[in-house]
């Protein structure tokens, strides 16, 4: 591509708004479906990988998802009272009733759905679910909104963590960040700057969760319809440069390991694995997971609109073998090593401060350069247990006792975390 566009302004004309109140994720305007159906149960012969009740899967992959005759998991677009957020995978699973269609899910649902739908390994499924709940949900009920703040529906009796902001969450009000006299780094909990298909918080705050067709087109044009590892590294580098040079509150901290993980899903989880674990990550199979419909042809100047809902492609099959946390850590080391960038953030456009916090697994001198896969695995654990810096001057502190208890119960027993500093209380 030529010059990198500034994502502030007319580039947002292809947005689809995914909340009842435009651009709002706060609890008062979060969609509220009085009907909470829960995930549709798996009924023989449609048992997929056999994961149920939050336990490990019992079958191998290369299974069609959803099966043609499985009407319980056919696509259903979200209604005006259903919550959707920035994660294509979660939105897809909700639209197919593998997690509750209203967008309020829980630990067991997320474990079952990730395994049955995508053949995500149990350790990776557990790590992602626990991190989501720890950062944005309720550690007691294990409930989580896949989008906006639904605290009255996710918490038990009041929230132990205050507002449970959901996957959409940023801990900063728009008037503060947008003030021309006070440019403050955004406090990111889960969704981050340089997303593949969502705008930086600064440019469309508080809406950094809505599908951005312009960014998706930019990605497709960059990778020429082939979402391979090297091509995704190229696009992620462009997004980093774009945010660095145009976003005065740009922040790229340790939690970007989750962003790299999400990028790897495009070539590790989204292809149509009709035979084995080797399949081309082409637009035909990637686009439906984002709800992206192309309105023209070719890669020179692609145009997309939102289809109305993320979905599994027709006749789609999941991986044969589970995608593990170790696999994701290996991909991160490879991807970051191909194009290492500094961690930190802007205080004003092109006024970048490198992250200088110590004690973060895999980070040395504000960079992941030289990090090992084992250090990245330990970082996933650290993200679940500690308030890693969400600002340039932020510090590392522990999360609540309820979160620590959730982690000790669910992450400590996993063999993948052997060798990491584990919490015991």
pLDDT tens figures, 354-393: 988 789 999 999 999 999 999 999 999 999 998 776 666 5
Give the pLDDT score at 156: 74
Cis peptide before 66 (omega within 30 of 0): yes
Give, to the nearest 10 degrees, the angle between helix 122-136 and helix 107-118: 140
- Give the rounded percent of residues in the chain with a pLDDT score beyond 70: 83
Q: Cα separation of 195 and 243, whole Å?
A: 10
Give the pLDDT score at 400: 83
CB 408 within 8 A of CB 398: no
User: pTM for the full model?
Assistant: 0.90
Across residues 119-140, what is the average pLDDT? 95
Kindly report which listed range (47-56, 63-72, 76-85, 205-214) carries the lowest average pLDDT score: 205-214
Q: Cα separation of 85 and 393, whole Å?
A: 28
Across residues 267-271, what is the average pLDDT? 98
Cα–Cα distances in angstroms (integers) from residue 268 to residues 57, 123, 198, 331, 363, in the given order: 18, 16, 21, 10, 25
Residues 6 or more apart in contact with residue 10 via CB below 8 angstroms: none
Report CA torsion sign: 365, 369, 373, 376: positive
Q: Cα separation of 130 and 407, whole Å?
A: 7
Q: Cα separation of 359 and 81, whole Å?
A: 42
- Per the document, the length of the chain is 425
What SS3 state is found at 215? helix
Calculate ∠ Cα 266-287-167, nearest 5°: 65
Let me know how many helices (H) and strands (E) the chain has, helices first: 13, 9
Q: Which residue's structure tokens are 């250090």?
A: 375
Mean pLDDT estimate for the chain: 87
Cis peptide before 175 (omega within 30 of 0): no
Give the pLDDT score at 164: 66
Tens-place pLDDT, residues 289-327? 999 999 999 999 999 999 999 999 999 999 999 999 999
């Amino acid at each position: 591509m030529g010059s990198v566009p500034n994502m502030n302004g007319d580039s947002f004309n292809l947005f689809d708004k995914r909340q009842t109140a435009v651009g709002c994720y706060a609890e008062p305007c979060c969609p509220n479906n009085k009907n909470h159906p829960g995930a549709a149960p798996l009924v023989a012969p449609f048992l997929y990988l056999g994961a149920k009740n939050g336990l490990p899967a019992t079958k191998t992959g290369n299974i069609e998802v959803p099966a043609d005759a499985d009407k319980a998991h056919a696509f259903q677009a979200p209604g005006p009272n259903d919550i959707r957020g920035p994660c294509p995978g979660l939105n897809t699973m909700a639209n197919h009733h593998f997690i509750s269609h209203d967008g309020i899910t829980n630990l067991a649902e997320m474990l079952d759905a990730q395994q049955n739908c995508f053949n995500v390994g149990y350790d990776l499924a557990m790590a992602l679910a626990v991190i989501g709940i720890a950062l944005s949900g309720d550690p007691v009920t294990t409930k989580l909104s896949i989008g906006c703040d639904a605290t009255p529906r996710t918490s038990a009796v009041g929230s132990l963590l205050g507002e449970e902001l959901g996957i959409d969450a940023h801990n900063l009000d728009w008037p503060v960040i947008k003030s021309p006299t006070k440019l403050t780094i955004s406090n990111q909990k889960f969704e981050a700057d340089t997303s593949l298909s969502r705008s930086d918080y600064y440019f469309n705050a508080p809406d950094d969760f809505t599908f951005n067709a312009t960014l998706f087109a930019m990605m497709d044009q960059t990778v020429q319809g082939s979402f391979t590892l090297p091509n995704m590294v190229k696009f992620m580098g462009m997004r980093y440069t774009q945010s660095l040079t145009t976003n005065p509150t740009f922040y790229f901290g340790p939690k970007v390991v989750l962003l790299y993980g999400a990028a790897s899903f495009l070539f590790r989880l989204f292809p149509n694995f009709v035979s084995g674990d080797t399949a081309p990550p082409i637009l035909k199979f990637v686009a439906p997971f984002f709800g992206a419909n192309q309105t023209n042809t070719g890669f020179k100047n692609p145009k997309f609109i939102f289809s109305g809902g993320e979905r599994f492609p027709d006749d789609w099959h999941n991986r044969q073998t589970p995608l593990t946390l170790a696999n994701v850590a290996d991909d991160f080391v490879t991807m970051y090593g191909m194009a290492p960038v500094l961690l930190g953030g802007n205080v004003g456009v092109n006024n970048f401060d490198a992250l200088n916090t110590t004690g973060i697994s895999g980070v040395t001198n504000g960079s992941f350069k030289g990090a090992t896969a084992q250090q990245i695995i330990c970082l996933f654990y650290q993200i679940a247990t500690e308030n890693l810096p969400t600002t340039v001057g932020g510090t590392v502190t522990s999360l609540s006792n309820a979160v620590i208890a959730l982690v000790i119960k669910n992450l400590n027993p996993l063999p993948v975390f052997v060798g990491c500093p584990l919490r015991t209380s």
